[in-house]
Structure 1
Amino acid sequence: MKHPKDPSAPGTMRVLDKQPTLQRRSFLRGGGLGAIGITVIPVASLAASKDVAARQSFRHLGAATGRTLVRMARDIYPHDKLADTFYVEAVAPYDAASAKDKGVKKLLADGVKDLDQRARQRCGVPYAEVKTEDERVALLKDIEATPFFKKVQGDLVTGLYNNKKLWPLFGYEGSAWEKGGYVNRGFDDIDWL
């Protein structure tokens, strides 16, 4: 006869270890979409994306503000193996919006200026040049209640995750209703259940 506490004994409930697998990288307070996961793309495309933000033209906001916004976007929704070009595409509309709306330009310019000032006080360099992710995240947590942070974080949800080029990298096949729905298109093709 097996011991009553033996998990393989009849009538004994199996208890699964439910340790959370998400870390801060996957869930920045208020930014739960970071939990979508880390994607995998070829290393060659990562090398090609290096300094994309530096080459991107931010005519109305300026290159320094553009670099800060791209670095901020990557820190808010971190996907280590996602090319910088996708983050640049997500923040590039701010430049056009700044040309049309002086309020948006002021919000972004003042927000970046404040973030850079905080980074210089704490780390001695502007935000985009802060070396460690933990230091940048601490700076972002300091400003997360500001209208600047809320705007950037909120706009990135659509700017980044509505990019159809990224959907395959995240495993999302797109809308299914026009193709007959999910029932006949992979609804039950999960292998982990």
Structure 2
Amino acid sequence: MLNRRAFLGQSAGVAIIAGAVSAIGTEAVAAPLKTVTASATPTLLKMARDLYPHDRLPNGFYETALATIDAKVAAEPGSAKLLSDGVANLDKIANGKFGKPYLDIVAEADRVAVLKAIEGTPFFTRMRGEMITALYNQEELWAKLGYEGSSAEHGGYIHRGFNDIDWLPA
């Protein structure tokens, strides 16, 4: 039999876990992008997460990367529609393969199949190429991924943590 204190403690724990789990999937994109509509932005975010999947990273890192890519595309003459046309094509292929837009496809393997179908397009090439830099150049992210930063000014990795990677199997 649970007493009042145990019941409240367990209820609070469940509420915290439920709140954290629901917040992971429902984060809204922080700032509007310049070259795509607000309705296309979540699709770009899902694509970015599928291209470089890190389940434990919050959307904020991906949003920052998307804003960086969007600003670059917006500054290039003739490229303003690259992202919006790319999202439209992504949804067109997703609808053709699965009868629903890319964002609504639940299974990751199915979304990857859609991405494989567009991998030769300028949109996919640009997103894949720009995301790697825009995502992984965020210093706030480095510690979360186990990267300690540049070591050249400290004598190189041999003398600075060469063997301290404890998350890789031996």
TM-score under structure 2 normalisation? 0.77
Q: Distance in 2 between matches of 1:139 and 1:107?
A: 18
Q: Which runs of 5+ in 1 are unaligned?
A: 1-41
Per the alignment, residue 111 of structure 2 pairs with 136
Q: Secondary structure at the match of 2:140?
A: coil
More helix by share: 2
8 Å CA contact 1:67–1:128 kept in 2: the answer is yes
Q: In 1, Cα distance between the equivalents of 2:148 and 2:30?
A: 31
In structure 2, the partner of 1:110 is 85
Structure 1 partner of 2:160: 185
Percent identity reads 45
Q: Which of 1 and 2 has greater Rg?
A: 1
Q: CA–CA distance in 2 between the matches of 1:55 and 1:185?
A: 37
- The answer to whether the 8 Å contact 2:37/2:84 transfers is no
2:100 is paired with a residue whose SS is coil
Correspondence 1:77 to 2:44: no
The range that moved more, 170-179 or 54-63, is: 54-63
Aligned residues: CA RMSD = 2.5
Q: TM-score, normalised by structure 1?
A: 0.68
Deviation of 1:120 after TM superposition, in Å, equals 1.6
Q: Tell me if the contact between 1:46 and 1:82 (Cα under 8 Å) persists in the aligned partners.
A: no
Would you say the 8 A contact 1:58–1:92 is kept in 2? yes
Cα contact 2:118–2:124 (8 A) shared by 1 = yes
Distance of 1:147 and 1:132 partners within structure 2:
25
Return the alpha-carbon distance in structure 2 between the equivalents of residues 165 and 105 of structure 1.
29
Specify every segment of 5 or more residues in structure 2 that has no aligned partner in the other structure, as ranges.
Answer: 1-16
